[in-house]
Structure 1
């Protein structure tokens, strides 16, 4: 993304050099993310300017675009001597720097360099600023996408490591599998797993992954010394990862070990059990240097924690085979439950972890239990576990003392007598309830995403169809007299199509593809303003209470969509209380530690909107499918099944999270979490009178890939006197723009088209005809156009499906603006 931005900016301004700079948090320095031009060798990626240095420092400090015809003689430009010498070798002198700003936060800068003496014109500066606005949005979207992908990769890696840990108790195999997952996570050339000797003088290899054959001998026969190898010794003592991007130049690296085992970059992370290092993983990049990121080191620490569990479990298993005394001492310190059971189904010995896991007070209580009756949720599961006792990782449901069900993973061999008969079982019990819950959340999220994409695509296609149906109906009604035969049927068609457009809006809300117009709102004012309407909506048989928590509850959201959320939740609550009840709507603030884990995307303090009813509640199956589109428990014809799906989509697209609690007969509580913002809430709109949909004599370039929508728009405009140049593809539009000899007053273009977005087309047209106005037509937010929509926020937007009257009004409004 950064490379494309640098290239596009250089070409756009015809400059020798273009650089995308990223502002480094904490230091104030800027780092070159991407460089385009013939002078890349002098200013390569990774080049860092200290805080305040150069024209860039001046632009960021003043938060405005800065230019200079010659930075070497410009007294405003301050450069350290070594930086000045390097830049002077670049053979450029003039410069233009535009800060990259996202939501009033500087994230970097866009720099242009050219020959000495070039003076950038006002038009070029405006163009650079417009491009920078778009680039900032695109970079921020790319950063957010990469962060989401990183969280997904991290979760997948940790799940895979967890599976590796629980799939076997063999130390070598567990370490080999963790080494494999580490290799996949960081993209190293090889990974080795080691354990320390008794004196902690050396690290002995126990497993490896992708160790080259040429180095295998050294890997197996030469333990790694801990003493004298400063980088390893320090990491071992602190139980923290250590790394070196350039081992040849790093004085902490033991040169003898490096000569025996040549590599370019390395990462060493200890495996710490109870605060003491007992083993380690050594990760190496053999041929190229590797730049380490905070995300990588954070993931490595998480893998290290899981590896510590694996190493501890393996040690427990090995020592249990030697003697009962050692087994007991290790068992009591284990993080998982460990027990011996008889073949008849009684606990013989248990550890404290198992006592705590099952919610009892003492070991004695557990020893009195019958496994089949008191522990297994399904008694028949115990017989299955016995049959599969030699298979690792059997998962079943157990009962806690209070009746709560937990999912446990059972590992361990059967106990045999001298004749080989099974006398009992030795088991390690791991509570995987939380892990399975997270995996189910991940599956549900992926399913909702897939359904959302489908729903968004369907809604987009329907919007085109409905535009034609509604528009053609209106044109036909305009030609029919009030009492003319057939008028009632046409009006019915138009009303039905309008109802269908409301359905597509709900689909787009669920799929998070609707176009929002967020502003800073006081949630208390929104709820208070809706109170009377909601009271009429739910009826007099339901008592409505609105409660406002202390302080102001400011959020950044679309007011209309927020009102839709309240309406949908109130309607659901009303339908759940046909014989009366109580509906409570409450606002407040919650901190990160007070929210469910699934709301972690909502960083910092959040405003919470709670909607609580005393209705019939939901069973397990209904709760599981609550947010699915078209799922409804109402009788046929009483609901579309889109109410909660719409709530889910609106809240997610607004950067928030929704969860709920419900039990049959105990009512339902929905909680909406939205990031809290600072600032003043937007003032109410003055309600200026919209212009009447009159015609004109201007020339309009109409670009729409759907032929029926295009024909409708053309006819509507031509009937009102406009001259229309139409095009089915952006490239056709560009050719028409170039051929047309006189003025083109307005460009009306679809935002999403094959080959080129409407935003990109508008930029091309405005480059050639700056005086041309622009109207964008869109049915939904498209990923490919998201960056343009962010950067081109001031371009007027006409939403599909639109009526001829709406099209004419928007055209006149923009032309007269």
Structure 2
């Protein structure tokens, strides 16, 4: 009963900080310290999975010496999958169990047992929380449940911090693009800026903007970023089902461009090192006037947040094109008006 009360008090303390602090480092430090204190641990660490490199990277830790080297196992996805199957991983003797990895380093650090649980965000494991003890021990179901609940709170804190940072970065991008668009009415210059800004923001390999031809039977490239001349000259873009769906207002998310049956020019994409793609419609008012295509050099499934952002940016691009077009039309009308006025003057 006393142990459960200790868990409850510790968890309440964590929840209070989550409600009053937006500093993710402060929150994670508190989580780690509470885990150590409440579970009589030697040390604890939250690792986040680097999906591209497939390794674990420490995000917050306490109780380990500066000399201790965290092994960064490859196949982090496999380890997370193994943890999810049983809900946790338990190593009774980290100095001899191969599952612990680098047993000599753990022995020198004075680590005996390890308990590992997943850090979850929206039903997805984004990392792990590890507790280390100085003496060999087994863990009760209450202790495992407490550590899992703390890991869940850590996931919530990390997601909250990510969302806040994403909002800040989104605002910066919109401000940057808007200010640069407003500084010029040269549509080609505007779209070149637009393409490079978005490509850098989403860490893309490349980006293209294609607009519908006057007869609406084809797409014409108006700007590109990051693609070779050879790739751009590969051939015409077919107005097939894929493109027509985009022109109907749909986003097309292509996780693997080399195996997706909807994708043209697979050989050329492989040579260009294109792995994933995202197609977004470009709107001007009520009309869809073109397609913006994002290219990733690594296999990537764009998230809902990213897709929402791309949609908003494609709309902003459409408005920029519309504004530039109206400016050109106005210039032509003004020229015609001046010519007309001059011809009337000839009558006097």
Same-fold call, TM > 0.5? yes
The aligned runs of 1:182-331 (5 Å cut-off) are 182-211=198-227, 215-219=228-232, 221-222=233-234, 224-228=236-240, 230-237=241-248, 239-255=249-265, 258=269, 261-286=272-297, 288-321=298-331
Task: Provide Cα deviations, 1:631-682, integer angstroms capped at 9, x if missing partner.
Answer: xxxxxxxxxxxxxxxxxxxxxxxxxxxxxxxxxxxxxxxxxxxxxxxxxxxx
2:138 aligned partner: 120
1:166 partnered with 2:178? no
1:55 aligned partner: 86
RMSD: 5.0
CA gap of 1:132–1:217, structure 2 versus 1, over 3 A, is: same
1:511 aligned partner: none
| Ranges in structure 2 where 5+ consecutive residues have no aligned partner | 1-24, 59-69, 93-97, 102-112, 343-348
Alpha-carbon shift at residue 48 of structure 1 (Å): 4.9
The aligned runs of 1:454-465 (5 Å cut-off) are none
Alpha-carbon shift at residue 186 of structure 1 (Å): 0.6
CA gap of 1:142–1:315, structure 2 versus 1, over 3 A, is: same
1:40 aligned partner: 73
Given that 2:253 and 2:301 are in contact with CA atoms closer than 8 Å, whether structure 1 keeps it comes out as no
Q: SS state of the match for residue 77, structure 2?
A: coil
CA gap of 1:134–1:164, structure 2 versus 1, over 3 A, is: same
Distance 2:244 2:79 in 1: 30
Distance 1:218 1:20 in 2: 37
2:195 aligned partner: 179
CA gap of 1:155–1:414, structure 2 versus 1, over 3 A, is: farther
Greater RCO (CA < 8 Å, at least 6 residues apart): 2
CA gap of 1:68–1:261, structure 2 versus 1, over 3 A, is: closer
Alpha-carbon shift at residue 307 of structure 1 (Å): 1.0
Distance 2:119 2:270 in 1: 46
Distance 2:131 2:145 in 1: 15
Given that 2:211 and 2:222 are in contact with CA atoms closer than 8 Å, whether structure 1 keeps it comes out as yes
1:148 partnered with 2:174? no
Given that 1:179 and 1:281 are in contact with CA atoms closer than 8 Å, whether structure 2 keeps it comes out as no
Larger Rg: 1
Alpha-carbon shift at residue 179 of structure 1 (Å): 0.8
Task: Provide Cα deviations, 1:28-58, integer angstroms capped at 9, x if missing partner.
Answer: xxxx9948876934553795579xx7322xx
> Could you state the TM-score of these two structures normalised by the residue count of structure 1?
0.28
Alpha-carbon shift at residue 234 of structure 1 (Å): 2.5
Alpha-carbon shift at residue 248 of structure 1 (Å): 1.3
Hey, which of these two has a bigger chunk of helix by percent? 2
Task: Provide Cα deviations, 1:100-147, integer angstroms capped at 9, x if missing partner.
Answer: 699xx9996957799xxx96245x975x77766665544433322221
Given that 1:33 and 1:45 are in contact with CA atoms closer than 8 Å, whether structure 2 keeps it comes out as no
Q: SS state of the match for residue 208, structure 1?
A: strand
Q: SS state of the match for residue 232, structure 1?
A: helix
Distance 2:303 2:150 in 1: 27
Given that 2:46 and 2:129 are in contact with CA atoms closer than 8 Å, whether structure 1 keeps it comes out as yes
Alpha-carbon shift at residue 262 of structure 1 (Å): 4.5
Q: SS state of the match for residue 292, structure 1?
A: coil
Alpha-carbon shift at residue 236 of structure 1 (Å): 2.6
Q: SS state of the match for residue 318, structure 2?
A: helix
